[in-house]
Amino acid sequence: MNPRLTRQELLRRGAAGSALLAFPSLLAACGGGGGGSDTGEVNDVLNFSNWELYIDTPKTRKVAGLTGPTTLEQFTTKTGIKVNYFEDINSNSEYFATVQGRLRQGDGIGRDIIVSTDNDRFLGDYISNGWAQKLDKDLIPNISNLIAAQASPPFDPNREYSLPWFSGMDGIAWNTELTGPVTSVTQLLEDPKLKGKVGVWNSMGDTLGLVMLENGDDPAKVTDESFDRAIAVIQKAQDAGQIRRFYGNDYAQPLATGDLAASMAWSGDILNLGDPKVQWGIAEKGGIIWTDNMIIPTGGSVPTASTYMNFVYDPQIAAELSLGANYISSVTGVKDEASKLNPDAASNTLAFPTDDMLAQMHQNDPTMFANPEYTKKWLAVQGK
Amino acid sequence: MGTFFHRHRGATPYLLLAPGVLWLAIFFLIPLAFLGYESLQSGLFPSFEFTWQFSNFSDGIRDYHEQFIRSFVYAGIATAACLLLAYPLVYWIAFRAGPWRNLFLLFIVAPFFVTYLVRTIAWLNILADQGPVVSILRDLHILGPDGRLLATTFAVVSGITYNFFPFMALPIYVSLEQMDQRLLEAAKDLYASPTQAFIRVTLPLSAPGIVAGTLLTFIPAAGDFINAALLGTPNQAMIGNVIQSKFLESLDYPSAAALSFILMGLILVSLLVYARIVGSERLTG
Amino acid sequence: MTTIAASPPRARRSVAARTWAFVKRHALMVYALLVVAYLMLPIAVVILFSFNKPAGKFNYVWEEFTFDNWVNWNSVLGIQDAIITSLKVGLLATVVATALGTLMAMAIVRHHFVGRGATNVLVFLPMSTPEIVLGASLLTLFLNTSSIFQLGFITIFIAHVMFIVSFVVVTVKARLIGFDRHLEEAAMDLGANEATTFRKVTLPLIAPAMLAAALLGFALSIDDFVITYFNAGGTQTFPIFVWGIARVAVPPQVNVVASAIFIVAIAFALTNVFWEYRSAKRTRGAT
């Protein structure tokens, strides 16, 4: 299916094996971590924290040509569980900072499900510190619908603690009024015609991931040398004045207004921008795919959360979610279901990528993020 | 009888202070004490240990003196700019605006009702490279043909200035508004020109407001991070950005705490110097 | 022989002199209006873009004019609750902080007491502390006292009063330094006790300063993000809502809500102008 990803899976499984050996000792060191959780009973309320505009709403459903109630409402109708949906995650780091205190004390945070991205340190931190509870897979038969590429990520090799919510692709976007297509990272960072009008991310995994691919290094297996090589490339571009700024997700505005001619960009943002003069493509040497994962934090109800996760892994529901939010799903068959509901929208490869596109995607090495030396060097490049 | 207000020792001041000081003691000092404890810890998240790690402080100064200096320079320039921009405006509001004064006071504060992010998006639109402002400046050769206003030191300092403008303007207004106009009339009767009257009468009487405005602008501006984050490049990173990233991204809480205390210490030192220059009664009354 | 300075008869002044006099008289007003224009420039853009119909989910580039956003202002989920929470917290925190701050200012300026210097330092410290550590350490306090303080509206309120108080103290102090005590002494001479003097003499005289401090405090509260985010639990204020949504979209409804607050506030101020005009006219008519 996806030859490159499968090869990487094999490589990762090797690494994961050794990581698995480390897990029990980690958990023991943390004293077991997880505080009081469930009684084995499914509650009648689910508390779910997510990013904003990351789920279908009546308005987005209408735009996507979907009728009927939202997926949350359908869930309540089907299971009788009411959902308190909080859109209070606006940044992995900030959310982590607000909940880590309680989790460190072994307390719950009043949530059954929270969402965190895999190409930053925090998802791994939740799991390695014992602050994520194991899923009840008996309640998630639909887990078999998880696509093969996501079956064994390095931070959770047996998918015991997490399941993907949405993914996004890292690529390059350009303003067609200011430049022709920008197809490679080298062009982005070295073409003198783009000088001072280039954007990169301020997040390590995304920016350095793309650079490593350009350098011919594997972003899923970072070494000190490959890291330093990537940093050197960015530092050079920064010193030469090629890079305008290091952006969060605020590069969309300058791209639209012409302050940026080209930028590293997420597929979802460009889709949401809806501006025909801003185009997006995967870089020549490949892109990074990141995934927001659902986890059950300490104090959350495992049965209730697992029931919900099973619900959203139904291909029909997954298709509605993907159409309603414009992000990439990790459920098999989602594209076919989406075509039945809205063939036009389902043909949009930014939300429903082709197998070819997915074959060019790579994932980050999670051990890179918590490495203090790496973090220090990355922040130093940004003047921090 | 009037001496009641001046020299009555006893409980009055403490009673007046009690509610406010209690609030700050509980909700500021206690957290601050915890922060102090954190600043002497060491280790990696989540297992920090208290080890009297004073090197957090020396390392902080050694590694980030550039950002510290830059923060004070930016805050200083922004404060001066605020003062120059605000004083004539509030002078006009206090003395010439008549019944319109409250409206204009509202105009000063109104930008805050529109969240920071929303008004920054507006500024990013106005000052865009292809927008009207930059085009005019390029035509006038004030900016080079590739020149830009955004992602520069100018953008960051302007952002700080714009954001802290009310903090300079309102205290000065407070000081001017109470001024007794008859003092100006007396000055004119004594043959002072308007300029002289201003310099010898108005300006000194508004000094408490100027001092207050300067403090309310400079102090928080020194710790600002958001303007450098959204409008600047790595060359404009302020100490606020360093603390932000140490706290959120490196999870290096001891370092972040130590840097915060260094910042507070430097600000207090600046305050002492400032008090000496302007005379401490202006500071405390 | 010396002549008493007197303005020369009008007819003899040249056009240039008259123009110059005109400019001098109005220069200050022109300057003031220019500064106000500078302050209002982004607000004008915000209001303009509230009528925009963006192509995608981000409201960055002008597309076409529409009234839809104003009609469906709360069609974006969460925006209504967020702005109401912001206004409630803002008003409550401002009132409390202004009261506490004014009392503190009076104590500091009018009394010499043990600990006066320390109190001054205490006032300046919260302003000097970076917001992120201020918010995070306050959160730690709330977590350790979770039986008393549940994260939510109350903790946001507490946090806001905490960081607003210092600004109130410094602003009101500027008024109290140089306050003419003789007025109070005169009142006391005429038989008023301290409480009455405070109510009828002091308070009205420092009211404009308290109003200015309150304006400042409200502005601080309604715009705060970092400290609020850390102490909000899942509650959303308007800034939290906007920062959260900005990752994916900046809907024009955000502009609508922001513009609406601004316009309502201006409307209040205009009624105040009208009121003052009328009462000024009335007092003139009465004399």
Walking along chain C (287 residues) 10 residues at a time, the average pLDDT comes out as 54 78 84 94 93 87 88 85 95 97 93 89 93 92 88 95 96 88 86 83 90 94 94 91 86 92 89 81 67
Q: Which residues of A72-81 are buried (b: 16+ CB within 10 A; e: fewer)?
A: bebbbeebeb
C209·B174 Cβ contact <8 A: yes
Give CA–CA dist C87/A2, Å, rounded.
53
Mean pLDDT on B141-149: 87
Set of chain A residues whose Cβ sits within 8 Å of the Cβ of C64? none
B51 confidence band (pLDDT: 50, 70, 90): very high
* Cβ of residue A273 closer than 8 Å to a chain C Cβ: yes
Q: How many CA atoms lie within 13 A of A146 on its CB side?
A: 22
CB contact under 8 A, B234 and A238: yes
Average pLDDT of the residues in A104-111? 92
Q: Which residues of A touch C63 (CB under 8 A)?
A: none
- pLDDT for residue A216 is more than 60: yes
Which position has the higher pLDDT, C282 or A144? Answer: A144
Q: Give burial (CB, 10 Å; 0-12/13-18/19+) of C11.
A: exposed
Mean pLDDT of A166-185: 95
Q: How far is C61 from chain A (nearest CA, A)?
A: 7
Percent of the residues in chain A that have a pLDDT greater than 70, as a whole number: 90
Beta bridge partners of A293: A116, A164
Residue tagged 């008090």 (tokens) = B275
Taking alpha carbons only, the member of B241, B212, B252 closest to residue B38 is B252
Secondary structure class of B210 (helix, strand, coil): helix
| pLDDT score at A11 | 40
Higher pLDDT, A248 or A231: A231
Residue count of chain B? 285
pLDDT at residue A73 tops 80: yes
- Position C279 scores a pLDDT of 80
Helix (H/G/I), strand (E/B), else coil: A362: strand
The alpha carbon torsion through A299, A305, A309, A311 (nearest 10 deg) reads -170
Contact state of B122 with C46 under an 8 Å Cβ cutoff? yes
CA distance C91 to chain A (A): 23
pLDDT given for residue C136 in this prediction: 92
Amino acid in the structure at residue A271: L
Q: Of C45, C49, C53, C57, which to mutate for an interface test with A (greatest number of A Cβ within 10 Å)?
A: C57
Taking the CA of residue A84 and the nearest CA in chain B, the distance in Å comes to: 27
Show residues of chain A in contact with B233, CB under 8 Å. 243-246, 383
Per-residue pLDDT, A244: 95
Average pLDDT of every residue of chain A:
88
Which chain C positions have a beta carbon within 8 Å of A350's beta carbon? none
The average confidence (pLDDT) of chain B is: 90
Tokens of C286: 């009465």
Token pair 């308290």: residue: C210
Question: How far is Cα of residue A306 from the mean position of the Cα atoms in its chain?
Answer: 20
> Is the torsion defined by CA of A342, A344, A349, A350 positive or negative?
negative
Within 8 A of A125 by CB-CB distance, chain B residues are 45, 251
pLDDT confidence tier of residue B188, bands split at 50, 70 and 90: confident
Nearest CB neighbour to B30, from listed C35, C141, C270: C141
CA distance C242 to chain A (A): 10
Half-sphere exposure (Cβ direction) of C6: Cα atoms closer than 13 Å: 6
List of chain C residues whose C-beta atoms are within 8 Å of the C-beta of residue A110: 233-234
Please tell me the distance from the alpha carbon of residue A231 to that of residue A378, in angstroms, as a whole number: 7
pLDDT at B181 exceeding the cut of 90: no
Q: Which residue of C has its CA nearest to A96?
A: C230
Closest A-chain CA to B122? A253
Return the C-alpha torsion angle B263, B267, B268, B272, nearest 10.
Answer: 150
pLDDT at A24 over 70: no
B175 touches chain C (CB under 8 A): yes
Q: Which chains does B contact via 3+ CB–CB distances below 8 A?
A: A, C
User: What are the angstrom distances between the C-alpha of C48 and each of A102, A253, C114, C138?
Assistant: 44, 17, 55, 39
A129 contact residues in B (CB cutoff 8 A): 46
Which residues of chain A have a CB within 8 Å of the CB of C230?
97-98
Q: Please state the rounded mean pLDDT for residues A128-145.
A: 95
Q: How far is C244 from chain A (nearest CA, A)?
A: 5
By C-alpha distance, the chain C residue nearest B29 is: C122
In the block, which residue shows the tokens 């698995």? A20
> Pick from B237, B249, B252: which is nearest to A383 by CB?
B237
Chain A: give the shortest CA distance to residue C132, in Å: 10
B189 touches chain A (CB under 8 A): no
Name the neighbours of C, counting chains with at least 3 Cβ pairs within 8 A: A, B
**Which amino acid is residue C77, in one-letter code?**
L
What pLDDT does residue C244 have? 87
Residue type, A304: T
Candidate from A90, A102, A253 with C-beta closest to C60: A253
Q: For residue B2, name the pLDDT band (cuts at 50, 70, 90).
A: very low
Asked if A88 and C236 come within 8 Å (Cβ–Cβ), the reply is yes
CB pair distance less than 8 Å for A54 and C55:
no
pLDDT for res B23: 96
Angle between helices B253-278 and B30-39 (to 10 degrees): 120
Taking CB atoms and an 8 Å limit, are C184 and B248 in contact across chains? no
Q: How crowded is residue C276: how many other Cβ atoms within 10 Å of its Cβ?
A: 16
pLDDT of residue A30: 39
pLDDT digits (tens, 9 = 90+) for C176-199: 987 888 888 888 888 888 778 888
Distance set, CA C92 to CA C89, C153, C164 (Å): 5, 11, 12
C-alpha to C-alpha distance for C27 and B199, rounded to whole angstroms: 18
Helix (H, G, I), strand (E, B) or coil at A23: helix
3-state helix, strand, coil in chain A (%, to 5): 45, 20, 35
User: When comparing pLDDT for A40 and A255, which is higher?
Assistant: A255
Q: Residue C154 and residue C160: Cα distance in Å, rounded?
A: 10
Asked if residue A5 has pLDDT above 50, the reply is: no
Q: Is C22 on the interface with A (CB under 8 A)?
A: no
Inter-chain Cβ pairs, chain A and chain B, closer than 8 A: 75
B237 part of contact set with chain A, CB < 8 Å: yes
Cβ–Cβ below 8 Å for B122 and C49: yes
Q: What integer pLDDT is reported at residue C11 of this predicted model?
A: 58
Q: Angle at CA C239, nearest 5°, toward C164 and B105?
A: 55
Residue A206, pLDDT score: 95
Cβ-defined contact of A259 to B232 (cutoff 8 Å): no
Contact criterion met (CB < 8 Å) for C240 and A88 = yes
> What is the per-residue pLDDT across B227-271, written as a single tens digit (0 to 9) for each?
999 999 999 999 999 999 999 999 999 999 999 999 999 999 999
Q: Which of C149, C247, C250, C253 to mutate to test the interface with A (most CBs of A within 10 A)?
A: C247
